[in-house]
Structure 1
Amino acid sequence: MDDIVKAALAKWPNVPHCYNWLALDARGDWYMRDDRIQAAGAFPTPKGSRILHDKLQEFIGRNYEADEAGCWFFQNGPQRVYVELEAAPWVWRLTAVPGAAPALSTHTGRRAAFRSAWLDDGGRLFADSDIGFGLVHTLDAALGADAIEAGHWRYDELPFAQMPQRFGYTLSPAAGQRQD
């Protein structure tokens, strides 16, 4: 977490949490969801406005964490902005490593150590790691399939609906809107 964010938390410790205003889609893109978008439906339909500003994306990524209940949030100064997730808290980008399993990094650029691979009932490839669970980006699914075929990754199958509970994350913190 950025030092400026820690300082804001210390200065204003009781700022109310924010729900439904920020979302992460299955391709690792952040979306702002204003009142109009929220009134039109739950994430991911409609998604909202894609955040394109590089520095804002980096700031969100550096201050992106989970609480004790598995709800992911962006700590925006003193305010905790909970994130609606389309599929998982991380979206994995894979980098080919000749003769070895691909390297994992998150949509925020953070590196991770692979633990296990999972296929859901829709044929999507997920991976668990030392920093948590995520969906393999669609552009990198072929690298994941190559890792499985080469024997670098073994996989299990699990219906998508069971993944959040199995891996300890919440798709929609707004659904249970905790008032703390």
Structure 2
Amino acid sequence: MDESVRRAMARLPNVPDLYGWLHLDRRGRWFVNGERITHPRILAFMARNYAVDDRGCWFFQNGPQRGYVSLEYTPLILRVDSAGDLITHTGFPVTTIHRICLDEQGSLVADTPLGAGVIDDHDLAWALSRLRHGDDPADDTAIADALALPGGTATSLWFTFAGDSVEVGRVDADALPAALSFVREPSAS
């Protein structure tokens, strides 16, 4: 978090939180009241001051005011950068994946130390190249079999990342927030 934000919070500790005005879509684009934010300096400021509270609600700390974020899917969107490294939509490197979930549509969601993030579908080839079925690359049949499983079950797939192999579990999209401890629609109550 920026030092200027910390100072503003100390000066004005009782500014009310905002709900329902900030939205993060599945591509990692920010919207304020339906209008897309595109200014690079604003986006960089938001990236540095984006965090999660004890309830699993994600927010942008804008000076002394906390604006809670409505999430279209997950709090983070994971992308492969030009160097081939996995990063969050906020620009932070992902170095560890604790768990991988496969939803009913074939999206892969990683549980990382930074939070839960869906792997951007633009990086699907990168993600598929890391799926394994036993000692072999996962083929279409193995992936189809995993997708056919009910939510909440283990698959026979593994995801290789940073020298580790992580078991892939089938989790329905609606169950992801509970499974990975985040809230899609924060509220004051």
TM interval, shorter chain, is 0.7 to 0.9
Quick check: which has more Rg, 1 or 2? 2
- In the aligned structure 2, how far is the partner of 1:81 from the partner of 1:95? 28
- In the aligned structure 2, how far is the partner of 1:128 from the partner of 1:62? 20
Task: Name the structure 1 match of 2:50.
Answer: 64
Any unmatched runs of 5+ in structure 1? 34-47
Residues paired across the two proteins, number: 158
- In the aligned structure 2, how far is the partner of 1:81 from the partner of 1:24? 12
Choose the corresponding residue for 1:124, options 107, 110, 113.
Answer: 107
* 1:21-100 mapped onto 2 (5 Å cutoff): 21-33=21-33, 48-95=34-81
SS at match of 2:130: helix
Task: Name the structure 2 match of 1:14.
Answer: 14
- What are the superposed Cα offsets for residues 119-175 of structure 1, whole Å, 9 maximum, x if unpaired? 1112211111122211111111221111114462542111111110111100000xx
- In the aligned structure 2, how far is the partner of 1:24 from the partner of 1:157? 24
- In the aligned structure 1, how far is the partner of 2:113 from the partner of 2:7? 28
Q: What TM-score results when the alignment is normalised by the length of structure 1?
A: 0.82
Which amino acid in structure 2 is aligned with residue 17 of structure 1? D
Task: Name the structure 1 match of 2:176.
Answer: 163
Asked whether the equivalents of residues 16 and 79 of structure 1 are also in contact (C-alpha less than 8 Å), the reply is yes
- What are the superposed Cα offsets for residues 89-127 of structure 1, whole Å, 9 maximum, x if unpaired? 100012588xxxx63210010012222221111221111
- In the aligned structure 2, how far is the partner of 1:9 from the partner of 1:17? 12
Higher relative contact order (CA 8 A, sep 6+): 1
Which amino acid in structure 1 is aligned with residue 117 of structure 2? G
Q: For structure 1, which segment, 86-95 or 153-162, has the greater mean C-alpha deviation from structure 2 after superposition? A: 153-162
Any unmatched runs of 5+ in structure 2? 138-158
SS at match of 1:114: coil
SS at match of 1:111: coil
- What are the superposed Cα offsets for residues 51-106 of structure 1, whole Å, 9 maximum, x if unpaired? 11000001001000000000000000000000000001100012588xxxx63210
Structure 1 runs, 4 residues or longer, greater than 3 Å off: none
The Cα RMSD (Å) is: 1.7
